[in-house]
Amino acid sequence: MHSSLFHRYHGLGNDYLVCHQSVAAQFSLAQISRICDRNYGIGSDGLLIDIDDEDVPRVRIINPDGSEAEKSGNGLRIYARYLFDTKRVGHAPFLVNTLGGQVSCEVTEGAHQVIVDMGQAKFSPSALPAHVDGEQMLDQPLVVAGHSLNVTLVSMGNPHCVVRVEKLDLQWVHQLGPLIETLAIFPKRTNVQFVEVIDRENINIGIWERGAGYTLASGSSSCAAASAMRKLGLVDDSVTVTMPGGQLAISFSGDFMVNMRGPVQKIAEITLDADCFYDLK
């Protein structure tokens, strides 16, 4: 029986379990879902699978519902720190491969801050994918449950539907998030952010994640929301994104190349007991 060792980290309260590919290979998607369950499993906002037999470290990002994400900002900060903790990397910047493309990571001194070049924000609906007309959907009306929302579509490798609001109300995130996540125009579903612009350097966001639901923080959501507001000309090239779980620093260079800097903390190492699946059919 392989060891079932999981490393548990969080980035601003968005927590992930990390395990080696040989551990993940023992489990079905239903069992991974159970592992992420906060009452019947270890509990997590997702599982990061470490693939260490390629030239460049690769991470697979599995949502609690078993779906796979192309990118995860907090997940990449956590995976970068895991590679540092397991002595696979040092403080020099290094590359990581994801389903949504290759990124560059840097673990700063003290290992409690990680910088990730998250790649380019893309505004073409086909990048999400989204079945909407036109080359871009920027601050356009989208009616959801009778509410006309101002929506901007952005891909960070994973899909994001960014709703601009005058005043952030997390009730809307819980009420409309799951409806937007599963709209037919998003064949692979979408992550959702509600965004209040405070000034040209600060935005507040609330997050509903594809395949995970409400989370306290999200790195790719922060990148997407900041990119959308910059595309609309409402913020400048450095933006602090405030979420219930805390803040991330987002900055832009070139043609919407996005850089993210934020904290990461290790919580525990946990060995899973097979009895966790006893009641699973």
Ligand X SMILES: N[C@H](CCC[C@H](N)C(=O)O)C(=O)O
Binding site members: 14, 63, 73-74, 158, 191, 209-210, 219-220
Task: Single out the segment in contact with ligand X by CB under 6 A; choices: 68-76, 88-96, 170-178, 273-281.
Answer: 68-76
| Sign of the C-alpha dihedral computed for residues 103, 65, 218 and 109 taken in this order | negative
| Residue list 5-34, contact with ligand X (CB under 6 A) | 14
161 and 177 Cβ atoms separated by less than 8 Å: no
Q: Which is nearer to ligand X, 4 or 123 (CB)?
A: 123
262 and 9 Cβ atoms separated by less than 8 Å: no
Residue ranges of alpha helices (H) inside the chain are 21-24, 29-36, 73-85, 170-181, 219-231
| Residue list 94-123, contact with ligand X (CB under 6 A) | none
Angstrom distance (rounded) from CA 16 to CA 11: 8
Asked if 211 interacts with ligand X (CB under 6 A), we say yes
Asked if 193 interacts with ligand X (CB under 6 A), we say no
Interaction mask 142-161, ligand X, x per CB under 6 A: ----------------x---
For 251, the enclosing helix (H) or strand (E) is strand 246-253
Task: Single out the segment in contact with ligand X by CB under 6 A; choices: 35-43, 47-55, 102-110, 208-216.
Answer: 208-216
Applying CB under 6 A, which of residues 44, 152, 218, 227 lies at the interface with ligand X? 218
For 14, the enclosing helix (H) or strand (E) is strand 14-20
Task: Single out the segment in contact with ligand X by CB under 6 A; choices: 25-33, 196-204, 217-225, 247-255.
Answer: 217-225
Angstrom distance (rounded) from CA 276 to CA 273: 6
Angstrom distance (rounded) from CA 220 to CA 119: 10
Asked if 227 interacts with ligand X (CB under 6 A), we say no
Binding site for ligand X (CB under 6 A): 14, 45, 63, 69, 72-75, 158, 191, 209-212, 215, 218-221
